[in-house]
Structure 1
Amino acid sequence: MPSLYWKSRTGRVKPVTLAPYRSEQEFEQDVFQTPELLEDVFLLKRQIRGGAKSGIPDIIGIDVDGKVCIIEMKNVPIDAAVIPQILEYAIWAESNPDSIKSLWLEAHDRPNDRVIDWDNLEVRVLVVAPSIDRATLEHVNKINYQVELIEITRWTSGRDTWLLVNRLEPLPPKKKRPVSGLTIYDRAAYEENHNAEAVRAFLQTCDDLQEIATRRKWPVDRKFNKYYCGFKVGNYIVFGVKWISGKSFGVFLKIPEAAMRRSKIAGFESKYEPQWN
């Protein structure tokens, strides 16, 4: 069993205690109220009911690429037995775009960077549990839907809480086969939807930010996706470059609103998005 220790700047070492959630409802609520744990997913609603399916997904959301995210949570160790259940949810979501669209339109503070093709929905499934049998990865590889396995455990020390997130890496396929929903966002991919000169400038800006981060030894990882290039510390995006239109883009920073108001730069327009801080 893993152990976790907190070493302060003074050199004092304190043990951090594993604090399992008392119920699935508590686990689900904590994740729903801490959306940073799921990175780029905008969470719409908990306990979705719809159609004639026998079960109900725990949480549903929309990610930055416009995919519908079905989030199934278990407060117990799980294995491949969870797969039939998540397949049922995924098929329901794919077959009922109007139900998903209604939830999207009802949601408050919807992010404006999501482009959703309601006539051709893509589905992404996230399975969250305190521990997941590694053999489940092999079964997930055989599913056409994009499925991610995420372990989340809670640890405490006094009044402080740590949430440890472990995303299980997919196994390499044993043989070549089509992979659903996997796109490499490079110059060619961006030029399908954006002006070529704008793409050149966008990628140059991403490289400039990477150079600054490397020079200053910031511990960030760069990740490109359909709508932005994000620089992450762990699971949290701290700054990046975001497409605004086919010909324009901007740099975004995760900073307090008060700091943004104090940091006006002559010649540049800026705005604050509360949803993403």
Structure 2
Amino acid sequence: MLLSVKKLNISFEQYTSFFKKRIVHVVHDLDLEVKDSEIMAIFGASGSGKSLLAHAILGLLPYNAIVNGEILYKDEFLSKERLNELYGKEISFIPQTVNSLNPLLKVGKQSKYTAKKSDIGKVYKDFGLGKDIMDLYPHELSGGMLRRVLVSDAILSDANLVIADEPTPGMDTKSTETIINYFDSVKKSGKSALVITHDIEMAMQCADRIAFFYDGTIIEVANIDQLSEAGRGLKHPYSKALFRALPENGFNSLKEGDLC
């Protein structure tokens, strides 16, 4: 197995009034596996906490986070030291926030730092970014352009595992199609991706399996063919309700009590 997450629990230590401390439990008993040559999508509502999974895998949680469970990469524990060796080489990350780019470096130079491939200009062009973009600083680009730069950097890294946290918001149809094609090429080249998204239409076009995230954990993992025929192959009531709520599946069919 390429990536295994076992019994992951994430809590946060917080101080309330009068310096009283409390523990807020956000993710509990989460299990997940990503196979070789597989695109796995994590689907859930915006703000549900599913991005914490990516941050836990990559060691990006804040200081007040309490993490329990096992995260294995190629059947070996993914320690902080091992992650430092793999990050940017075997494991690449497409973050949700565009603020992750270094504001003091031109975007082209940042791409060169992560690129295993030499065709930076071609990858930029695929996302509608001209070569002149390479000579600009992040603050000179729009949010949509910055997101396309981040996706381009992940492509250029040629990583074995790509973790993408909401890669498509703010992108036009053409750029979204380019990302879908990219994930398809990832799978064909024998590599894998974990795509965290609230855009199930995008997920259905590129994923092999979709994991449904609800109430701080994964409640069901479905093969893409189980989502045909309006999701009749789904088992959990919440998964069914989410899928039926899509406009093309009859939005009005979502009834009170379906998500309980």
Shorter-chain TM range is: under 0.3
Instruction: Compute the TM-score of the two structures, normalised by the length of structure 1.
Output: 0.25
Please give the TM-score of this superposition, normalised by the length of structure 2.
0.26
Structure number with the bigger relative contact order (C-alpha 8 A, sep ≥ 6) is: 2
